[in-house]
Amino acid sequence: MKSESVPPGVLSRRSLFGLFARLAAAIPVAGVFGRALPAAAESPDPAAWEQDVLSGMVYELFPHRGLAPDYYAAAAKTLLERAADKTERLRAGIAELDALCGEAGWAGSEEAARVAALKKIEQGDFFHYVHSAGIELIYRDPKVWDLIGYGGDALKRGGYLTQGFNDIDWLPKS
C-alpha cells in the first residue's frame, strides 16, 4: 500500500474518515459527558477499554513492580463493580483521563503523559474516588504486605514492643 503524502495542515483521507467515525460514535454521549470518548468509540469492547484505563490509573497511583498486571486489572474490575451507582460519573472520569493523554489515549501514551494527565485531575471527585478505593484494594491484601515489607497487624502478635521495637527509651516501663 502506498503511503499518502499530505502537506502540513491538510487532513489526509484516512484522518478525515477517522475523524468522521469518532464524531459519529461520540454524538450520543457528547451531550452527557461534554466530550467524546475517543478510545472507547474506536474500541470493539468499551467495557474492556474502561477497565484497561482504570487498571493503568491504579498502577500509576500505586506502582509496585512485584505485582502482576492481573492484580491491577482485578482491582479495576472491583472498582467498576462497586461503582454501580456511580457508573456514569466513573465513565466520564475515565473518558476525561483518556482524552487528557491526547490522540494516543491512555494506553498509547508514555508514562510522563499519563502522570501529567493524573496531575490535571487530582483535585476532582473521580481521582479521589479511585485513589481512596485503590488504597483499600491494594493494601488490604496480605500478598502486598509481603511485597512491601509490612508484617501485618502487630496487635494480633502481642503489640509492637514484642516485635523488635522495644528500644524506645522514652516510653514508660510497664
pLDDT exceeding 90 applies to what percent of the chain? 38
Q: Assign 109 a pLDDT band (cuts: 50, 70, 90).
A: very high
How far apart, in whole angstroms, are the C-alpha atoms of residue 153 and residue 162? 12
CB 108 within 8 A of CB 88: no
Cα gap 135→141, rounded to integer Å: 10
Which of these ranges, 30-44, 124-138, 145-159, has the smallest mean pLDDT? 30-44
By percentage, how much of the chain surpasses pLDDT 70? 70
Q: Is the pLDDT of residue 105 over 60?
A: yes
Helix (H, G, I), strand (E, B) or coil at 48: helix
- Which cell numbers in the block locate residue 61? 497511583
Buried b (16+ CB within 10 A) or exposed e, 80-106: beebeebeeebbbbbbbbbbbbeeebb
pLDDT band at 19 (very low <50, low <70, confident <90, very high): very low
Q: How far is it, in rounded angstroms, from Cα 68 to Cα 57?
A: 15
